[in-house]
């Protein structure tokens, strides 16, 4: 009898869903999400010796230095560009300032084993984007840039086949007021192996770190903010990112066509452009992401055409969508992560996925834990009919908080036949785990545990809702 009743009502509810789905489509035209397609860049011609009108007076001292010598520069302003074509240490004392000619790269390293340290460098907002004009342009192995401050330059520091290069404790600020397409990257790396970037800050450039065809790198304790991409990355394998911050980007971070990348204890936060993503993987395989904070982004994690990636012990929080997952991806795994305060846990683009979700915490999971083992007694369902619409119809985002979305969700819960794409966490955690290795939302407040704070906030909110509901429930007559 129950089956008969269900079959009688099923067409009605399916028609309701169809009408609601059409209502999501009709009022607005389709809006395509502009994803970067990963076009690589080709370096310009390598600049040689500055011309007579552009050369710095410091060039005479460099030309007179013997290989391996230290050239020390006192405080003051020095106008013009220079080339270092022999191994030496070029060291500033009391922060001398080098003002470029405004026509080309200010310091050009063209010999192995060069160190540049302790300078303020100003590109005077001049040069040519197509010629890779930079504050410091390196086209030789084993260079070191340390404690330099670069402003007013199209590119900050450019590494071109600069194997074994080190950039540390430096600051790059782009040219204010320029369109991102007219700016270069803060630190740009091309066809370089064995590089190391530590404790650098990059602000107001096109891409904070642009890494192409470069492998075996170590990127630690850097900050990239107020830009387009904090990290723009392609065709680069076997690099390690630890304790970096990528924040306030118009597009977030994007990695493409690469393998065996490691992310530990990084912050991907406040990337709020229309198509922004905390961490985007496109055609990336065997990536490990652990103990990262991915918070306050339009989309937390985006995976397309990528295989065998492992996400564990991360906090993904306060984002419009926690995960965007294309069915062109496979063998990916999420385990022990905390998903807190996101508008929707998953947008699945396509019809199915073999991605495994195991033992994660979901702040909107209301399934009980009757046996007290710390896990819900029933699986947590990530996908819904409306989230399926959102994953395959961008305009549906406009209705995510609407009555139509709630009605579709209600119809799905009532009639299981509507469950088109079941994606579940089989044993979700009922409490947010302690994650001391995950960085806080504000790195200056080391004592703040972001996962714990969000978990406590959600728990208080849920408790208040339950108490409010119980107070509104009317008493039944006739009971003692």
| pLDDT tens digits along 127-159 | 999 999 999 999 999 999 999 999 999 999 999
- pLDDT band at residue 42, thresholds of 50, 70 and 90? confident
CB distance 284 to 307 below 8 Å: no
Section 402-416 average pLDDT: 54
Nearest to 133 by CA among 183, 98, 87, 171: 183
pLDDT band at 162 (very low <50, low <70, confident <90, very high): very high
Q: Is the pLDDT higher at 107 or at 475?
A: 107
* Average pLDDT for 388-397: 47
Q: Which two tokens stand for residue 77?
A: 């302003």
Specify whether the CB–CB gap between 173 and 150 falls below 8 A.
yes
Whole-angstrom Cα distance, residue 324 to residue 468? 34
The pair of structure tokens assigned to 81 is 């560009």
Distance CA(290)–CA(75), nearest Å, equals 45
- With a CB cutoff of 8 Å and minimum separation 6, the contacts of 377 are 367, 368, 369, 370, 371
Position 142 scores a pLDDT of: 98
pLDDT above 90 for 40:
no
pTM for this prediction: 0.82
**pLDDT per residue as tens digits for the range 82-138:** 999 999 999 999 999 999 999 999 999 999 999 999 999 999 999 999 999 999 999
For the chain, the three-class secondary structure string (H helix, E strand, C coil) is CHHHHHHHHHHHHHHHHHHHHHHHHCCCCCCCCCCCCCCCCCCCCCCCCCCCCCECCCHHHHHHCCCCCEEEECCCEEECEEEECCCCEEEECCCCEEECCCCCCCEEECCCCCEEECCEEECCCCCCHHHCCEEEEECCCCCEEECCEEECCCEEEEEECCCCCEEECCEEECCCCCCHHHCCCCEEEECCECCEEECCEEECCCEEEEEECCECCEEECCEEEEEEEEEEEECCCCCEEECCEEEEEEEEEEEECCECCEEECCEEECCCCCCCEEEEEECCECCEEECCEEECCCEEEEEECCECCEEECCEEECCCEEEEEECCCECCEEECCEEECCCEEEEEECCCCCCEEECCEECCCCCCCCCCCCECCCCEECCCHHHHHHHHCHHHHHHCCCHHHHHHHHHHHHCHHHCCCCCEECCCECCCCCCCCCCCCCCCCCCCCHHHHHHHHHHHHHHHHHHHHHHHCCCCCCCC
Q: pLDDT for 283-322, tens place per residue?
A: 999 999 999 999 999 999 999 999 999 999 999 999 999 9
Query: Would the pLDDT of 343 be above 70?
Result: yes
Handedness of CA 250, 184, 119, 164 (dihedral sign): positive
């Amino acid at each position: 009898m129950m089956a008969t009743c269900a079959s009688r009502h099923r067409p009605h509810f399916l028609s309701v869903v169809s009408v609601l789905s059409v209502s999501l489509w009709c009022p607005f035209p389709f809006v395509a999400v502009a994803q970067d397609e990963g076009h690589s860049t080709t370096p310009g011609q390598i600049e040689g010796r500055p011309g007579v009108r552009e050369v710095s007076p410091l060039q005479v001292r460099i030309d007179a230095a013997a290989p391996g010598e230290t050239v020390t520069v006192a405080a003051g302003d020095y106008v013009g560009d220079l080339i270092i074509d022999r191994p030496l240490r070029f060291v500033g004392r009391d922060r001398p300032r080098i003002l470029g000619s405004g026509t080309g790269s200010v310091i050009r390293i063209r010999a192995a084993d060069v160190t540049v340290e302790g300078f303020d460098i100003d590109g005077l907002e001049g040069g040519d984007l197509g010629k890779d004009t930079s504050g410091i342009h390196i086209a030789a192995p084993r260079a070191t840039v340390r404690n330099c401050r670069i402003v007013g330059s199209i590119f900050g520091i450019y590494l071109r086949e600069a194997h074994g290069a080190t950039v540390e404790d430096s600051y790059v600020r782009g040219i204010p007021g320029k369109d991102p397409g007219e700016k270069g990257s803060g630190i740009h790396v091309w066809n370089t192996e064995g590089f190391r970037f530590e404790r650098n800050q990059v602000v107001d450039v096109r891409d904070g770190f642009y890494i192409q065809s470069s492998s075996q790198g170590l990127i630690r304790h850097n900050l990239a903010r107020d830009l387009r991409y904090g990290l723009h990355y392609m065709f680069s394998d076997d690099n390690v990112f630890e304790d970096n911050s990528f924040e306030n980007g118009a597009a977030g971070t994007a990695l493409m066509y690469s393998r065996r990348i490691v992310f530990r204890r990084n912050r991907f936060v406040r990337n709020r452009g229309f198509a922004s993503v905390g961490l985007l993987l496109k055609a990336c395989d065997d990536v490990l992401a652990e103990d990262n904070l991915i918070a306050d982004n339009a989309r937390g994690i985006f995976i397309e055409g990528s295989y065998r990636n492992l996400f564990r012990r991360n906090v993904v929080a306060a984002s419009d969508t926690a995960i965007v997952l294309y069915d062109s991806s496979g063998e990916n795994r999420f385990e022990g992560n905390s998903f807190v305060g996101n508008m929707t846990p998953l947008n699945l683009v396509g019809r199915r996925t073999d991605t495994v979700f195991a033992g994660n915490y979901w702040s909107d999971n209301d399934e009980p834990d009757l046996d007290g083992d710390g896990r819900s007694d029933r699986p947590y369902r990530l996908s819904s009919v409306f989230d399926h619409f959102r994953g395959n119809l961008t305009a549906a985002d406009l209705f995510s908080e609407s009555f139509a979305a709630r009605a579709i969700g209600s119809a799905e819960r009532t009639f299981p036949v509507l469950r088109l794409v079941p994606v579940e966490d089989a044993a979700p955690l009922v409490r947010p785990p302690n994650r001391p290795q995950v960085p806080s939302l504000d790195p200056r407040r080391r004592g703040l545990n972001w996962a714990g704070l969000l978990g406590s906030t959600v728990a208080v909110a849920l408790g208040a809702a339950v108490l409010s509901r119980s107070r509104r429930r009317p008493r039944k007559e006739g009971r003692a």
